[in-house]
Amino acid sequence: MSHLRIGPVRTVSITDADEPADVARRRRERRYALLMVVHLIGLTVGGLLYSSAFWAGLALIVVTGPLPWVAVVMANDGPPRRRRTAPPGPRRTGPPELDSGSGPSASPS
């Protein structure tokens, strides 16, 4: 008897590499488009409600008003930056040592 799979097959990632640039860009474009559709629908419904239900219409306009700016910031957001680790080496644990030479701050003899 053959085994039939129902639903999508998920692949397992065995690396910690970032997703390809074209996939990340497409995901950001979809998110931007979705937010802009929500913005247009919210402004349209808010405008229609403004005359009959003032507070509901005003609330929708105020909430969906800044969505274009939010959408642009989210669309321009790249992948998270990785933390750079410090190279191995000696670590200072105390304050820096002062030079006791004859510099301009040395006391006159």
> What is the domain count for the chain?
1
Task: Establish if 14 belongs to a structural domain.
Answer: no
31 lies in a domain? yes
* Sequence-separated (6 or more) residues with CB below 8 Å from residue 18: 24, 79
Predicted confidence at residue 94, as pLDDT, reads: 66
Residue 7 lies in a domain: no
Residue 56 lies in a domain: yes
pLDDT band of 10, cuts 50, 70, 90: confident
Q: What is the pLDDT of residue 29?
A: 93
**Burial group, residue 60, by CB count within 10 angstroms (0-12, 13-18, 19+):** buried
pLDDT at residue 20 in the model? 83
Residue 99 lies in a domain: no
**57 within 8 A of 50, measured Cβ to Cβ:** yes
Q: Looking at residues 51-79, what average pLDDT do you find? A: 90
Q: Is residue 108 part of a domain?
A: no
Question: Is 35 inside any structural domain?
Answer: yes
The answer to the question of residue 1 being in a domain is no
Q: Would the pLDDT of 86 be above 70?
A: no
Give the residue-averaged pLDDT of 3-29. 79
pTM above 0.75, yes or no: no
CB-facing half-sphere around the CA of 87: CA atoms within 13 A: 1
Domain range holding 64? 21-76
